[in-house]
Amino acid sequence: MERLENKVALVSGAASGIGAAVVDRLVEEGATVVAADIAEIEDGVICDVTDPESCAAAIAETLERHAQLDILVNVAGIGAGNRIEDVTPQEWRKLIEVNLTGTFFLSQAALPALLETTGAIVNMASLSGIRGTPYNAAYSASKGGVIALTKSMAVELASTGVRVSAVCPGAVNTPFLSDYHLPEDADMTLLQRSMSPMGGLVEAVEVAAAVAYLASSEAANISGTTLEIDGGASA
């Protein structure tokens, strides 16, 4: 029997990259998955995680289709590399709004349904939220906030049985990474801090496998934790 048989999952940021890999893995594990994204996805739901009403509508649509929600995976996120002095107020606010506030809004909307099923939330954080990475002030702050949010929610919800965990990947081989632009004169010595000691990039399927484990009953006593997938970079 698949680990997630008879479970219903909602995955945000599901149109590409890690989100799409998570959808595929959860389906392989037996779950019924609703793919959510700000972009239109076939058989998916539109969800702007920065809008509480859009989040509520995505949850309502999921419940209308499947009558339950067992797993929420918050993947929706954006990034931008810039020097501290060059980060604009708009850039700062947008990164915090999507990566951190969006994670909270969708979790908040999903919580009543997850309480009904004693479900699980898996948040997508980052190596950048654990250790300092250059040219990433806004992104690092947003992902550090996701880690703190994960731990706070895990403690508050512990008595309900709802588990909340986070995955913290290093550099992942996805379009998100290839579209990530750094300053032209970026200090490569500083950037070595973000590199995996094992070499190479993390693959999206590796991240998806970690998400599936944390969402499953095999992780029944894991909550409030961060699972690093970075080749030892956070050690």
Quick check: is 180 catalytic?
A: no
Choosing from 135, 139, 180, 213, the catalytic residue is 139
| Domain 8-225, classified CATH 1.10.1040.10, yes or no | no
Cα separation of 160 and 226, whole Å? Answer: 20
Q: What does the pLDDT look like over 117-174, one tens digit per residue? A: 999 999 999 999 999 888 899 999 999 999 999 999 999 999 999 999 999 998 888 8
Segments making up each domain of the chain, as ranges: 8-225
Q: What does the pLDDT look like over 158-217, one tens digit per residue? A: 999 999 999 999 888 887 765 666 777 777 676 666 677 787 788 999 999 999 999 999
Cα–Cα nearest to 154, from 146, 165, 168, 145:
165
Tokens of 37: 């994204």
- How much is the mean pLDDT over the chain? 93
**Cβ contact 25:205 at 8 Å:** yes
